[in-house]
Structure 1
Amino acid sequence: MAMAAGPRKRIIPLLVFIFVSVSCLFLFTFPSSNPKPQILKQFQQIPSPNYNPGQNFTFIIKVLTFNRLSSLSRCLESLAKAHYDVGDTVHLHVFIDHFVLDSRNASAELEKKLNLSRKILEFVDGFDWAYGEKLVHYRTSNAGLQAQWLEAWWPGSDHEFAFVVEDDLEVSPLYYRFLKAVITNYYYNASNFSPSVYGASLQRPRFVPGKHGNKMLLENVPRVFLYQLVGTWGQLLFPKQWKEFRLWYDTHKTKGIKPTLEGMVTTGWYKKLGEKIWTPWFIKFIHSRGYFNIYTNFAHETALSISHRDAGVNYGKTAGPDSSLLDETSVDSHFLELYPLRNLKRYDFCFKEVFPDRIARSSNDLESVLQSVQNDSSVVLVSLYRVPESIVRNMLCHFERLNIRNYILLGPASSFLLDLARRGHPVIDASQFSDVAQLAKSVNFQDSSLELMKEILVGVYATRKGLELGYNIWLVDGNTLPVATDALLDSFGNKNEFYIGKISRLLFVRSSSSTLKVLPEDFAYNVIILVDTLRKESVPEDRIVFSVVAKLLENQNIKFGNLDEMQLGLDVGIARGNQTLPTKNKFMFWPSQTESDAIPKQLANLHLWAVDGDSSCTGVICHQS
């Protein structure tokens, strides 16, 4: 008997499998009595996203409501009619805010508000949710829209996701399938994951918060793209980034730091509505971190969620939806195909395209990066060696203000350099630049001299490469700050092809056949010899590269303009206390040996410090492309 039990246990599951298979065959063989359009049949044949059971994430819908029963009813009904995959658990949490307790209200008014609250509670209590847990949170006092959002969720784990909807929203039946695909492809797929992506908005993109930003023309924007702006009309939030924001918010709110950003429309909202709204806080956080949100761009102004813009905190009177819901008849078999994250276009608060991860580590990389930033036939190379991070960030804020885009940052390998590249700044990794790394190592220098040699060789190499491609080149030390819009233009005429400022640490080279002769392809060994000579002469490290080029010119009897004599730059120490700078001073500079705490104070006195406590720009400056 004991031996027969084993085969019997194996036969029973087999019989169950055969029964289920036959049942499924029977169901799919006979047509439905209510046939659906062919395009819907194609959608139903789309396989659900590949889901690893080990990624057992929790999906929670957070519905925020106050006193709009008809809006809430429409919202919950649309959520209940959505397509949820068999076996998936979707929880529903409804947060009902209380009306304001005001003793000045007449008893009839209070009774009216109480009756409305009771009707909302009765409706929610009786609402059937078949896909998971239904939780109702009824507040005892009025929290307001900001607290409704911020207190609705603290992730229980890094595998818990919140989809937040306000009560005047309506979602497409397809919304969950899309969000599940987003989570699977952009959160759990290691090749597509990025900590700088904080979620996904289902609303139709329509708003550019940066003043004077580009118009949102979406004809050439792909179906899925990245945009910095948070969406309040159906926003999926990733847990790690939301926790990071909540802790950031708590710190700033406690210290009395306001979420203001110059140049942003949302700052005007905050000044008018104050703590009634939460989005200026999140926008300030996103700006400081350089994070992005996933957006969709469907044809005919359709979206996976719409707001009916009913009267409330955001709208004095009902405005109605600005788009239409996407339904089954509007999609095809490619609906859930999501491109790799690296291929998605990215846009900032000005709706200007951001190009991340432009890193040059070889001559091939360098050529591509040079061509990507070229503007008016000139390129600005900025050395970040011996420059504090805060000074670099301040310089980049001024680049944005002055609309200087044709720059490349040259520095040693570091997490800071990689972060700059992630945020869209083109960089040259001098430490790992393959074309000169082996050459620098072949010379018997100490470690400190090796980094200096790489810095100088890569700087000169990049200058020559730019000249080969026909670009005029500026080489600028990171401790030199342009303060005028025309600071980095070619305004010298044709008298000389080289202009050098050893003290101000500036170099300008005009592209021509003769300038390339000064820097022949085998220039490297000549540079190494000159560097060794200049070090023995105790030339400061931050001036060596400019002195090297000057020596190369002198050795060939080539005349060059002296930028120090032209007084394009002004030492910060001399300018201290001056409120108005001479118009001829287009740069501020200071020795790299200056104490790092002194420069921000001196620049702040000159109104040239544009970095806040989060090490980000104090404002967003938009220039139309």
Structure 2
Amino acid sequence: MLKGCFRQMAGLETDKTAIVIIAYNREKPLRRLLSSVKTADYPDKCEVPLIISIDKSDNGEVLKAASEFDWKYGEKRILTHDKRLGLRRHVLECGDHSGEYGNVILLEDDLFVMPDFYNYALAALEFTACDERIGGVSLYNHLLNVHVREPFFPVEDGFDNYYLQLASSWGQAYTAGQWKGFKEWLEKRGEGSELCDTDIPENVRSWSDSSWLKYNIAYLIEKDMYFLYPRSSLTTNFMSQGEHSGGESCDLQVPLGVFRGVRYRFGKLYESRSRYDAFFENTALKELMAQRYSLKPSDICIDLYGYRRKTELKGRRYLLSSRALPFKILDSYARTLRPLDCNIIYNITGEDFFLYDTDTEGKAPGVDKAERYLYNYRALSSARMLAMIKRTCLNKLIPGG
């Protein structure tokens, strides 16, 4: 149960945590999500409000699924809308319920939750409520760098969480204060603004204006804030066909546990060595490199995934990158240990990551892209690669083939 600082920040004499399900026209995914929510664990003698918010559509089966769902843990509310909101406005309205209840857990209807999702959310919200640098809590654990479509694993630092400067949309929770901070920033900036002055990844910048998430991410970057993420995911994503998804896929499925009643050991932002920016780069490496080479952390840019562009250096002289660039190389590291960070942390020498002095020209090093693929995708035999190429070609020639 949430208490103390959380109550003061919320300004409410309540410690209810509402589950808000965001639905539109996907009846079967909604039933699947509701089934997982129903079988989850909830604290004894704790009222758990459930809100099912349904955007306007022609699918009456969605409302039927919501109406038939039996909820024994507290109040159940079904909200319908006479006019189509669209995903962005719908999510923003659902988040506003944090002002009524104190905090919310937002779940889109193509998600699936594991048994301990609610207990985790309570613990994480209470842990982060007083920290002004935390913008929210993710229930989902990324295993993919969404910008480059390569595996991502946060370095282990002894805690059950890590921090990422990327807001979550695949199961997320907010205190009233966290949500209010985002909404006030959004209203001041103006919905639909270009975000030209924000150092956000190009992938995020390219998302349509109907995306609420890119603005939540921009907010974190501008304010130098983070989301708390779990190491063991409490949700997974089926990517059911919808406004921003073409159809179900396994790309975003992540391992789920069956554990219940865990006592989580969270680490604060200042003590975490597993702290990542919006590019999925470990910001703790800047302090390490500064100490190792007698540099200023503010002069160093980390780019292990090779996704940053020169314009994103923003005056930082030293660049640690996997890209082949025409600058003087001060040192280089291997791509051997997992995760990527550990090659730098443990000073593993090699020719895969290069520390450049961008003020001095030099010869661009050779980079073996094939080795990078083999590192990322284990046991990738020639036969398997040919099978994947064949399938990809067939799908392009014959959709669904």
Interval containing the TM-score (normalised by the shorter chain) = 0.5 to 0.7
> What are the equivalent positions in structure 2 for 1:241-390 lying under 5 Å apart?
241-253=178-190, 257-260=193-196, 261=198, 264-267=201-204, 269-270=206-207, 274-298=208-232, 303-320=233-250, 322-328=253-259, 335-344=263-272, 345-355=274-284, 373-374=290-291, 376-378=293-295
Against the structure 1 CA distance between its residues 379 and 96, is the aligned structure 2 distance closer, same or farther, given a 3 Å change threshold? Answer: closer
**What residue in structure 2 maps to residue 143 of structure 1?**
85
Matched, 1:69 2:27: yes
Match of 1:206 among 143, 151, 172: 143
Q: Give the CA deviation at 1:319.
A: 0.9
Q: Give the CA deviation at 1:166.
A: 0.4
> What are the equivalent positions in structure 2 for 1:212-231 lying under 5 Å apart?
216-218=152-154, 220=156, 222-231=159-168
Distance (Å, rounded) in 1 between the aligned partners of 2:248 and 2:297: 51
Match of 2:120 among 178, 203, 221: 178
Task: Name the larger-Rg structure.
Answer: 1
**What residue in structure 2 maps to residue 106 of structure 1?**
none
Secondary structure at 1:151 match in 2: helix
**Structure 2 unmatched ranges of 5 or more:** 8-13, 300-311, 321-356, 363-401
Distance (Å, rounded) in 1 between the aligned partners of 2:110 and 2:258: 19
Compute the RMSD of aligned alpha carbons: 3.5
Q: Give the CA deviation at 1:341.
A: 4.7
Distance (Å, rounded) in 1 between the aligned partners of 2:5 and 2:47: 13
- C-alpha contact 1:211 1:264 (8 A) present in aligned 2: no
Secondary structure at 1:152 match in 2: helix
- C-alpha contact 2:200 2:221 (8 A) present in aligned 1: no
Q: Give the CA deviation at 1:258.
A: 1.5
Match of 1:131 among 55, 70, 73: 73
Against the structure 1 CA distance between its residues 123 and 398, is the aligned structure 2 distance closer, same or farther, given a 3 Å change threshold? Answer: closer
Q: Give the CA deviation at 1:326.
A: 1.6
Q: Give the CA deviation at 1:327.
A: 0.8
Distance (Å, rounded) in 2 between the aligned partners of 1:54 and 1:243: 14
**What residue in structure 1 maps to residue 314 of structure 2?**
398
**Structure 2: which amino acid aligns with 1:246?**
K
- C-alpha contact 1:203 1:234 (8 A) present in aligned 2: yes
Distance (Å, rounded) in 2 between the aligned partners of 1:225 and 1:280: 21
Distance (Å, rounded) in 1 between the aligned partners of 2:167 and 2:95: 16
Against the structure 1 CA distance between its residues 262 and 194, is the aligned structure 2 distance closer, same or farther, given a 3 Å change threshold? Answer: closer
**Structure 1: which amino acid aligns with 2:258?**
D
Q: Percent identity over the alignment? A: 21
Distance (Å, rounded) in 1 between the aligned partners of 2:115 and 2:4: 24
Secondary structure at 1:275 match in 2: coil
Q: Give the CA deviation at 1:252.
A: 2.4
Distance (Å, rounded) in 2 between the aligned partners of 1:355 and 1:155: 35
Q: Give the CA deviation at 1:219.
A: 5.6
**Structure 2: which amino acid aligns with 1:373?**
A
The structure whose residues are more often helix, as a share, is 1
Q: Give the CA deviation at 1:215.
A: 5.8
**Structure 1 unmatched ranges of 5 or more:** 1-48, 100-112, 188-192, 359-368, 383-395, 406-483, 490-625
Distance (Å, rounded) in 1 between the aligned partners of 2:292 and 2:199: 27
Match of 2:52 among 94, 110, 117: 94
For these two proteins, the number of residue pairs brought into alignment is 305
Against the structure 1 CA distance between its residues 268 and 325, is the aligned structure 2 distance closer, same or farther, given a 3 Å change threshold? Answer: same
> What are the equivalent positions in structure 2 for 1:589-600 lying under 5 Å apart?
none
**What residue in structure 2 maps to residue 486 of structure 1?**
359
- C-alpha contact 2:200 2:278 (8 A) present in aligned 1: no
Against the structure 1 CA distance between its residues 287 and 379, is the aligned structure 2 distance closer, same or farther, given a 3 Å change threshold? Answer: closer
Secondary structure at 2:95 match in 1: coil
Q: Give the CA deviation at 1:268.
A: 5.2
Q: Deviations over 1:287-310 (max 9, x none)?
A: 100110111113xxxx21111111
Distance (Å, rounded) in 2 between the aligned partners of 1:54 and 1:296: 20
Name the structure, 1 or 2, with higher relative contact order (CA <8 Å, separation 6+): 2
Against the structure 1 CA distance between its residues 269 and 94, is the aligned structure 2 distance closer, same or farther, given a 3 Å change threshold? Answer: farther
